[in-house]
Amino acid sequence: MVHRITQIDAFSDRPFAGNPAAVCLLSEPGDPEWMQAVAREMNLSETAFLHPEGDGYRLRWFTPGFEVDLCGHATVASAHFLWEEGHLDESAEAHFETRSGRLTARRAGEWIEVDFPADPIETREPPAAASAALGTLPTLYARTGLYALAEVESESVLRALDPDLRALRELHPVGVAVTAIADGSEFDFVSRFFAPNAGIDEDPVTGSAHCSLGPMWGARLGKSEMTAYQASSRGGVVRIRLAGDRVILGGRAVSVMRGELLD
Burial of 152 (0-12, 13-18, 19+ CB in 10 A): buried
Q: Are 16 and 231 in contact (CB under 8 A)?
A: no
Which of these, 7, 3, 1, 2, lies nearest to 258 by C-alpha position? Answer: 7
2 beta partners:
262
26 beta partners:
none
Q: Which of 33, 46, 53, 113 is catalytic?
A: 46
Q: Taking CA 170 as the corner, what is the angle to CA 169 and CA 171, rounded to the nearest 5 degrees?
A: 95
* 3-state DSSP assignment of residue 47: strand
Active site residue 53: no
d(CA 98, CA 137): 36
| Residue 82, CA distances (Å) to 20, 24, 246 in order | 16, 10, 23
d(CA 242, CA 115): 10
Q: Beta strand pairing status for 225-230 and 236-243?
A: antiparallel
As annotated, the active-site residues are: 46
